């Protein structure tokens, strides 16, 4: 079985890595990572805006943002994928490639979850930080930009990285609308071989595991180093040096 | 310079401030004292509207801080009122220097280079020029509070408010903070200080206000207040202080 698996990798490693590129669309691990990175990069500013709207005193901002977050959290990702996939061409009269559909869906979905992380990061800061900024004459926006968000976002880095790991796992659902990513590539191989599904999907699982495990390790390392930084490092060394 | 007119504040039925009518004149140093929960901190926080009030007016240089004013106008008023917190509230992601630079630079649109020069001068004034690049977590409580004073002074406020500035400090660090406050008072700064440091009140204050249960029960010079307090509650407060 192991030799089977190794054989499959030897025959198909390029397909697993980059899909049919350059003869076809980019696929495999490369497409999965590209999709995840783009999704989280776009979802992040979106989530900050949603979080700020959720915390706003203006109901015209707060209510739609809250509705969006509760709506998205209450619907399975697959439903949203179908909605975007089928509704977009109907509403706008243009057909959107699978990759773009999946990207839009992920930005919406991960953004809604991430906005709760951002909101928690903002509200977790001591109230004295906002008080101090306001007492110095900062407007709400200026206090957010220079005092609150820089602290909250650094504190949230590990959670953002965890959300990135979830995003990578969620890209597998792109399979149902034929997005040529890693799961899609594995399924192509399986359809060709027909008799070795266990090996093929074991390889697939191990690949996801390797990517996600290293990222969760990175997240916990980040968490530790932020905790050390917060505790106030380097002070004894400085004193000694003086 | 700071004028309270018929100020009332309630939390539900609980009366946090009751009919406050007092003035702080330009150049005057007022110490507000009284037992815990008497409304001292609430009172001082109404001056820059960190606390809202239900009725009355708080005037700063003739402007009612609690009027229906544009937020830009309120921000401008706040920037002219230096405020020092019990818990310092330095911005932990910025060095001491950047804590002092941030607001003149971003609020008053002073150039960063100029703000930096002034910040260094202020840190020097509070005795911390050599710690300018340290982060708050690397500073002792007393040092943090002195940076916080420098940060407030950077806005060049005509008045400074101190909300129990030494209450969160280890005893050996109280002196360094009080020394900075004394030197400010000597330079003619208008100051309103909530503090339990009766020695400071005796030496530096022009007037002492005694509060209990949201009311100012007695005001007087330190000599009058500490020598011959009139109100029975003030007499009990002072004898409790002396008994330990």
Mean residue pLDDT of chain A comes to: 90
A137 touches chain B (CB under 8 A): yes
Residues 6+ apart with CB under 8 A from B179: none
Task: Please state whether B41 falls in left (phi above 0), alpha (psi between -120 and 50) or beta.
Answer: alpha
CA distance B94 to B116: 14
> CB under 8 Å, gap of 24 or more: what pairs does B122-129 form?
B122/B150, B122/B153, B122/B154, B123/B96, B123/B97, B123/B147, B123/B150, B125/B150, B125/B153, B125/B180, B125/B183, B126/B150, B126/B180, B127/B176, B127/B180, B128/B96
**Whether B184 contacts B160, CB under 8 Å:** yes
Q: Please, which pLDDT band fits residue A241 given cuts at 50, 70 and 90?
A: very low
Would residue A83 count as lying in a domain?
yes
How far from B207 is each of A129, B48, B155, CA to CA, in Å?
Answer: 31, 21, 26
CA distance B141 to A228: 19
Q: B157 to chain A nearest CA, in Å?
A: 10
| Helical segments of A19-148, H only | 28-54, 59-73, 77-92, 98-123, 127-135, 140-143
Chain B CB contacts of A154 under 8 Å are: 93
pLDDT exceeds 50 at position A53: yes
Q: Please, which pLDDT band fits residue A93 given cuts at 50, 70 and 90?
A: confident
Three-class SS state of A142: helix
CB pair distance less than 8 Å for B90 and A132: yes
- Rounded to 5 degrees, φ, ψ at B132 are -55, -35
pLDDT exceeds 50 at position A234: no
Confidence at residue A231, expressed as pLDDT on a 0 to 100 scale: 67
Q: CB neighbours (10 Å) of residue B191?
A: 23
pLDDT exceeds 60 at position A235: no
| Number of helical H runs and strand E runs in chain A | 11, 0
A155 lies in which domain range? 2-228
Q: Both tokens of residue B101?
A: 């630079």
Q: Which residue has the higher pLDDT, A118 or A223?
A: A118
**Whether B161 contacts B192, CB under 8 Å:** yes
Regions of chain B where pLDDT drops below 50? none
CA distance B196 to B168: 11
pLDDT exceeds 60 at position A166: yes
A142-146, A174-178, B206-210: which has the minimum mean pLDDT? Answer: A174-178
Rg (CA), chain A: 22
Would residue A85 count as lying in a domain?
yes
**Whether A44 contacts A236, CB under 8 Å:** no
- Rounded to 5 degrees, φ, ψ at A178 are 60, 35
Provide residues of B within 8 Å CB-CB of chain A: 48, 50, 71-72, 75-76, 78-81, 83, 85, 87, 89-93, 102-103, 106-108, 130, 134-135, 137-138, 151-152, 155
Confidence at residue A7, expressed as pLDDT on a 0 to 100 scale: 87
Question: Could you identify the residue written with the tokens 């390029």?
Answer: A14
pLDDT exceeds 60 at position A233: no
Q: Please, which pLDDT band fits residue A228 given cuts at 50, 70 and 90?
A: confident
How far from A12 is each of A25, A186, A189, A205, A206, CA to CA, in Å?
Answer: 16, 9, 8, 16, 15
Confidence at residue A95, expressed as pLDDT on a 0 to 100 scale: 81
CB pair distance less than 8 Å for B78 and A137: yes
CB pair distance less than 8 Å for B50 and A128: no
Confidence at residue A236, expressed as pLDDT on a 0 to 100 scale: 42
Taking the CA atoms of residue A180, residue A185, residue A190 and residue A196 in that order, the dihedral angle to the nearest 10 degrees is: -150
Residues 6+ apart with CB under 8 A from B131: B96, B123, B138, B139, B143, B147
Q: B79 to chain A nearest CA, in Å?
A: 4
Q: What DSSP letter does each residue of B134-149 carry, written as one string?
A: --GGGS-HHHHHHHHH
Residues 6+ apart with CB under 8 A from A208: A168, A169, A172, A182
pLDDT exceeds 60 at position A186: yes
Q: What ipTM was predicted for this assembly?
A: 0.94
Would residue A236 count as lying in a domain?
no
Give the pLDDT mean for A207-232: 86
CB-nearest partner of A135 from B83, B134, B137: B83
Confidence at residue A212, expressed as pLDDT on a 0 to 100 scale: 95
Would residue A220 count as lying in a domain?
yes
Count of the separate structural domains present in chain A: 1
- Rounded to 5 degrees, φ, ψ at A208 are -60, -45
Confidence at residue A226, expressed as pLDDT on a 0 to 100 scale: 80
Confidence at residue A232, expressed as pLDDT on a 0 to 100 scale: 60
Would residue A74 count as lying in a domain?
yes
Give the pLDDT mean for A84-92: 86
Confidence at residue A134, expressed as pLDDT on a 0 to 100 scale: 97
Three-class SS state of A139: coil
CB-nearest partner of A232 from B85, B91, B138: B138
Would residue A12 count as lying in a domain?
yes
- Rounded to 5 degrees, φ, ψ at B53 are -120, 160
The DSSP element (H or E) to which B117 belongs, if any, is helix B112-125
Confidence at residue A242, expressed as pLDDT on a 0 to 100 scale: 39
> CB under 8 Å, gap of 24 or more: what pairs does B35-40 form?
B35/B212, B35/B237, B38/B211, B38/B212, B38/B213, B38/B214, B39/B9, B39/B211, B39/B213, B39/B214, B39/B215, B40/B164, B40/B194, B40/B211
Which residue in A136, A141, A235, A237 has the most chain B C-beta atoms within 10 A of its own C-beta, making it the best mutation to test that interface? A136
Q: CB neighbours (10 Å) of residue B38?
A: 23
CB pair distance less than 8 Å for A238 and B138: yes
Closest C-alpha among B221, B107, B89, B74 to residue B163: B89
Chain A CB contacts of B152 under 8 Å are: 135-136
Distance from chain centroid for Cα A9:
28
Question: Could you identify the residue written with the tokens 């982060």?
Answer: B135
A191 touches chain B (CB under 8 A): no
User: Residue A209: which CATH number?
Assistant: 1.10.3720.10
Q: What percent of chain A has pLDDT over 90?
A: 65
- Going across the sheet that includes B63-64, the strands are B14-24, B2-11, B55-60, B63-64
Would residue A14 count as lying in a domain?
yes
- Rounded to 5 degrees, φ, ψ at B190 are -75, 125
A129 touches chain B (CB under 8 A): yes
Distance from chain centroid for Cα A97:
20
A154 touches chain B (CB under 8 A): yes
Would residue A240 count as lying in a domain?
no
Strand partners, B15: B10
| Cα angle value B20/B82/A58 (rounded, 5°) | 80
Which residue in B107, B134, B155, B168 has the most chain A C-beta atoms within 10 A of its own C-beta, making it the best mutation to test that interface? B107
> What is the bridge-based pairing of β-strands B63-64 and B55-60?
antiparallel
CA distance B190 to B103: 21
Chain B CB contacts of A239 under 8 Å are: none
pLDDT exceeds 50 at position A160: yes
């Amino acid at each position: 079985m192991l030799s089977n698996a190794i054989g499959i990798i030897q025959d198909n490693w390029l397909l697993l890595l980059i899909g049919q590129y350059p003869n076809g669309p980019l696929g495999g691990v490369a497409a999965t990572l590209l999709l995840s990175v783009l999704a989280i990069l776009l979802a992040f500013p979106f989530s900050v805006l949603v979080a700020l709207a959720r915390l706003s005193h203006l109901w015209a901002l707060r209510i739609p943002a809250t509705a969006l977050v509760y709506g998205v959290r209450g619907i399975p990702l697959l439903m949203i994928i179908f909605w975007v996939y089928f509704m977009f061409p109907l509403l706008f009269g243009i057909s959107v490639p699978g990759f773009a559909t999946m990207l839009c869906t992920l930005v919406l979905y991960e953004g809604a979850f991430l906005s709760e992380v951002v909101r928690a990061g903002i509200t977790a800061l001591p109230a004295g930080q906002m008080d101090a900024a306001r007492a110095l004459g900062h407007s709400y926006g200026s206090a957010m930009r220079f005092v609150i968000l820089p602290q909250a976002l650094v504190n949230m880095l590990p959670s953002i990285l965890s959300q990135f790991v979830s995003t990578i796992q969620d890209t597998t659902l792109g399979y149902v609308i034929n997005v040529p990513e890693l799961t899609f590539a594995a399924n192509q191989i399986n359809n060709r071989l027909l008799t070795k599904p266990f090996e093929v999907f074991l390889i697939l699982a191990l690949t996801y595991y390797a990517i996600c495990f290293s990222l969760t390790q990175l997240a916990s390392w980040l968490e530790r180093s932020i905790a050390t930084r917060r505790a106030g490092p380097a002070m004894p060394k400085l004193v000694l040096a003086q | 310079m700071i004028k309270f007119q018929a100020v009332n504040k309630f939390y539900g039925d609980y009366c946090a401030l009751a009919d406050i009518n007092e003035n702080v004149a330009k150049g005057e140093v007022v110490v507000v004292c009284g037992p815990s929960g008497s409304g001292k901190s609430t009172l001082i926080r109404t001056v820059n509207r960190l606390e809202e009030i239900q009725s009355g007016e708080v005037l700063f240089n003739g402007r009612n801080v609690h009027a229906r004013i544009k937020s830009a106008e309120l921000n401008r008023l706040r920037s002219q009122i230096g405020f020092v917190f019990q818990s310092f509230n330095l911005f932990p992601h910025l060095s001491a220097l950047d804590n002092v630079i941030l607001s003149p630079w971003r609020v008053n649109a002073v150039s960063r280079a100029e703000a930096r020069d002034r910040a260094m001068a202020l840190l020097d004034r509070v005795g911390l020029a050599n710690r300018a690049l340290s982060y708050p977590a690397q500073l002792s409580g007393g040092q943090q509070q002195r940076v916080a004073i420098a940060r407030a002074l950077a806005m060049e406020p005509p008045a400074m408010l101190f909300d129990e500035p030494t209450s969160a400090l280890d005893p050996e660090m109280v002196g360094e903070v009080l020394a900075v406050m004394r030197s400010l008072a000597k330079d003619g700064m208008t100051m309103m200080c909530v503090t339990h440091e009766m020695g400071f009140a005796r030496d530096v204050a022009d007037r002492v206000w005694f509060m209990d249960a949201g009311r100012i029960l007695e005001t007087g010079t330190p000599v009058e207040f500490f020598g011959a307090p009139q109100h029975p509650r003030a007499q009990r407060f002072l004898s409790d202080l002396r008994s330990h």
